[in-house]
Chains A and B, each alone.
Chain A
Amino acid sequence: AQSVSQHNHHVILSEAASLELGCNYSYGGTVNLFWYVQYPGQHLQLLLKYFSGDPLVKGIKGFEAEFIKSKFSFNLRKPSVQWSDTAEYFCAVNAGAEAAGNKLTFGGGTRVLVKP
């Protein structure tokens, strides 16, 4: 069975600081990887996704993530955060192209608080 772990449950940082959120997964086959964000009072939104190709993926709002297959990792980064990045971030994985009906397996989430 797939599992996803996010190393930090809570992160507090100041505006303009750099952010990196860790995500590791366990699955032996081809995977699709996602980062979702949930802003306060809003629903889950897709930040970025990796299906194949360049392992460095750029998403919305200046976020990027790097897929390192050998480390089973898909860490999220942003060089300079803003107060509006305060949210909960979820890493998610599903089986790759060989499996249809790709249910997502989520990590436990990381709450990020950016202080103005």
Chain B
Amino acid sequence: GAGVSQSPRYKVAKRGQDVALRCDPISGHVSLFWYQQALGQGPEFLTYFQNEAQLDKSGLPSDRFFAERPEGSVSTLKIQRTQQEDSAVYLCASSLASIASEQYFGPGTRLTVT
């Protein structure tokens, strides 16, 4: 009965470095979401996958952000040339269905860009 897992839990990057954040959803969950949570704020949507298809990437803040889910299971969020404003907790969530289904969240990856 494993939940959503994310790695690494903490990441410190120097400005300009590339980072890759991994999400392992609950087995069998069709939908996968990425959210960004800045300090003291609620999570904000970044992107959504249904199986391997990225159906919504309207929340990605710039073309430095890229996400993939090539086999419809594990997903990676990549941030290129990190900036200080990218510092946040990145949350991954999965849900069993694509409609009217609750989302289960992972513990998040706290990214600090120095």
Residues on A facing B (Cβ under 8 Å): 4, 32, 34, 36, 42-46, 49, 51, 90, 92, 96-97, 99-109
Q: Which of chain B's residues has its CB closest to A98's CB?
A: B99
User: Does B44 lie at the interface of the complex (its beta carbon under 8 Å from any beta carbon of A)?
Assistant: yes
A96 to B101, CA, bound (A): 10
Q: Which A residues are in CB contact (< 8 Å) with B108?
A: 43
A103 to B101, CA, bound (A): 10
A101 touching B91, Cβ below 8 Å: no
A96 touching B42, Cβ below 8 Å: no
Q: Which of B56-114 contact A (CB under 8 A)?
A: 56, 59, 91, 93, 98-108
Q: Which B residues are in CB contact (< 8 Å) with A99?
A: 99
Q: Which A residues are in CB contact (< 8 Å) with B45?
A: 103-105
Contact of B99 among A36, A90, A92, A100 (CB under 8 A): A100
B48 touching A49, Cβ below 8 Å: no
A44 to B102, CA, bound (A): 12
A109 to B39, CA, bound (A): 11
- Add 18 more A-B contacts to A103-B45, A109-B42 (CB < 8 A): A42-B107, A43-B3, A43-B91, A43-B105, A43-B107, A44-B93, A46-B103, A49-B102, A90-B42, A96-B100, A97-B99, A100-B50, A100-B55, A100-B98, A101-B50, A102-B100, A103-B56, A108-B41
